[in-house]
Amino acid sequence: MRRKLKNIADVCLLFSSPLFIIFFLLFWEIAVNVLNIDKWILPAPSAILKSFYYSLDLITFHAQWTLFEALLGLIVGLVTGSVIAVIMQWSETIKKMIYPLIILTQTIPFITIAPLLVIWFGYTLTAKIIIIALVCFFPVAINLENGFSSVEYNFIKLIHSLGGNRWQLFSLVKLPFSLPFFFSGIKIAASYAILSAVISEWIGSDRGLGILLIRSSKSYLTDRVFAVVLVISLLSMVLVRLIDSIAVKLLPWHYHNQLMEWKKEKL
């Protein structure tokens, strides 16, 4: 009986989020129409969907450019973060030197260094990629370094007892153990990548969702602003989900263990 009630509770929890979103959108639609709120102040969800439909070609054109920037910046941030994490785990002295600098990069709002990047690189793709990479490298570097540091001492001791060197310890133990941490960092970075690309376009660009957002806002096309925000959110969700799917394919043992633990908790 208790197990049956628990299954019912799990089903209710599964559908609670979609139901809440549906009720919220219905309330929003009714409130806007009943209160007769101007569309340029707060458009109804139906008006936003209508704007999305009629602006689909325009939004698609700008979304492709933003996605390209985001993916390129994410790759640069991923490579940079991985290299930094490997360097930190290879030398404790270097880690103590550069770790505070890594933290420092995240205390400075990256929008404040945008004017410097414009001076150095102009209104180019390079300036945007640097901004996106600065945002994305941090979660990758920190999560990967945490993965290296979280290896159980017994495994390290085993490699040493078998006469293994530092490279064998790294390739056979630390690297495989840290891969789940690595993908967690990539997922966090991916959730930042699209938004960072949008903000980087505010520096100066002639295409991208960031520019479309500004142009729509200046034209008081609030329904299109909401449509663009919706696309930004969807792109971020799809990108994170894609990386999650890749992680499941590449790390089946990790997710199998998680599934077994989840089943034990349900029993």
Whether residue 78 sits in one domain with residue 172: yes
Whether residue 251 sits in one domain with residue 182: yes
DSSP per position, 134-149: HHHHHHHHHHHHHHHH
Whether residue 193 sits in one domain with residue 129: yes
Whether residue 186 sits in one domain with residue 118: yes
Whether residue 231 sits in one domain with residue 151: yes
* Calpha distance 50→38 (Å, rounded): 16
Whether residue 73 sits in one domain with residue 15: no
- Spell out, as residue ranges, where the chain has pLDDT lower than 70: 1-16, 253-267
Q: Are 144 and 81 in contact (CB under 8 A)?
A: yes
DSSP per position, 197-228: HHHHHTTS-SSSHHHHHHHHHHTT-HHHHHHH
* Calpha distance 234→238 (Å, rounded): 6
CATH number assigned to the domain comprising residue 250: 1.10.3720.10
Residue 141 confidence (pLDDT): 92
Whether residue 211 sits in one domain with residue 232: yes
Whether residue 114 sits in one domain with residue 177: yes
Range of the domain at 190: 39-266
Residue 254 confidence (pLDDT): 63
Whether residue 134 sits in one domain with residue 30: no
Q: What is the pLDDT of residues 190-242, one digit of tens each?
A: 999 999 999 888 877 788 999 999 999 998 999 999 999 999 999 999 999 99
Q: What is the pLDDT of residues 243-259, one digit of tens each?
A: 988 888 887 766 555 54
% of the chain beyond a pLDDT of 70: 88
Whether residue 255 sits in one domain with residue 168: yes
* Calpha distance 75→60 (Å, rounded): 22
Whether residue 253 sits in one domain with residue 160: yes
Q: What is the total count of domains within the chain?
A: 2
Whether residue 66 sits in one domain with residue 97: yes
Structure tokens at 21: 């979103």
Residue 257 confidence (pLDDT): 55
